Amino acid sequence: MPRFSANLGFLWADRPLLARIAAAGEAGFRAIELHYPYETPPQAVRDACAQTRVKLLGINTAIGSEPPDSGLAALPGREAEARARIEAALNYAVAAGGTAVHVMAGKVPSELRAKARQTLISNLRHAAGRAEALGLTILLEPINRRDMPDYFYDGVEDAAAIIAELDSPAVRLMFDCYHVGVMQGDVLTRLRTHLPIIGHIQFAAVPSRAEPDEGELNYPAIFAEIDRLGYAGWVGAEYRPRADTDDGLGWFRASRTR
Ligand SMILES: O=C(O)[C@@H](O)C(=O)CO
Ligand SMILES: [Mg+2]
């Protein structure tokens, strides 16, 4: 079975962040990932992780200052703000003991897409240099268009092309099976194809984004394939629980008895 991490952006979301970390440890997770932890001091996150004996993986760059913002890195004209958010995220990750930063690209109208790609590449080149110096990974995650219309990319091939162009060992793909399932399908083939550039995997049921025990993706088969491929990283439970988070962990408990 893969090593599962708990995404605390969604799991135990009704509790304060430090209580979520404790809950993940009590449930048996040995790694966590966060979305936007910025209101909690990084040292407090580091201490809670040490106390709970969980490893902190990734965090996201803050999404921006205006309500429709969903990241800034691909937004022409907002480079200074984007780089400040990237710097803040990298510094937070270092201070909290994390390993990766997901750089959120943002929403871009179709007529700005070509210019936006140049902006994204330039911001990511800067981020890659900083991440290499700090020993961190930059993650790129295409997001499905149903949940986030106009998000800069919605297909793993788009992100893979950017990763190839950047040619930095610090920039990797966040392969979220949920977004791939909603937007593209052929999840197992895409996992195999992109394995060499995958830095992190996430999952949730399609189409509900609930626990991975319903819907159209066969997670037992996907987890078996992740193992068969020899993927050595973590696989993040990033789903919205149908009700109580602990009550929905049957899939995790079952995985630990195998
Ligand atoms: O899939 C997602 O929504 C997340 O991984 C994320 O980082 C953006 O919220
Ligand atoms: Mg995701």
Q: Indicate the Cα dihedral angle 32, 201, 243, 71, nearest 10°.
A: 80
Whether the predicted interface score ipTM is above 0.95: yes
Closest-lying ligand 1 atom to the alpha carbon of residue 147:
3
CATH number at residue 12: 3.20.20.150
What's the distance, CA 49 to chain centroid? 18
77 is a domain residue:
no
23 is a domain residue:
yes
8/127 Cα distance (integer angstroms): 24
**Cβ of 200 less than 6 Å from ligand 1:** no
147 is a domain residue:
yes
Please confirm, yes or no, whether 214 is among the known catalytic residues.
Answer: no
Tokens of 1: 């079975």
The contacts of residue 211 (CB under 8 Å, 6+ apart) are: 204, 205, 239, 241, 242, 248, 250, 251
200/237 Cα distance (integer angstroms): 11
Q: Are 75 and 82 in contact (CB under 8 A)?
A: yes
205/211 Cα distance (integer angstroms): 6
pLDDT tens string, the chain, 258 residues long: the values are 999 999 999 999 999 999 999 999 999 999 999 999 999 999 999 999 999 999 999 999 998 776 566 899 999 999 999 999 999 999 999 999 999 999 999 999 889 999 999 999 999 999 999 999 999 999 999 999 999 999 999 999 999 999 999 999 999 999 999 999 999 999 999 999 999 999 999 999 999 999 999 999 999 999 999 999 999 999 999 999 999 999 999 999 999 886
Q: Which domain holds residue 24?
A: 3-63+83-104+121-256
Based on the structure, what is the number of domains in the chain?
A: 1
72 is a domain residue:
no
Work out the end-to-end distance of the chain between its first and last CA atoms, rounded to an integer number of angstroms: 7
> Which of the following is catalytic: 33, 211, 225, 238?
238
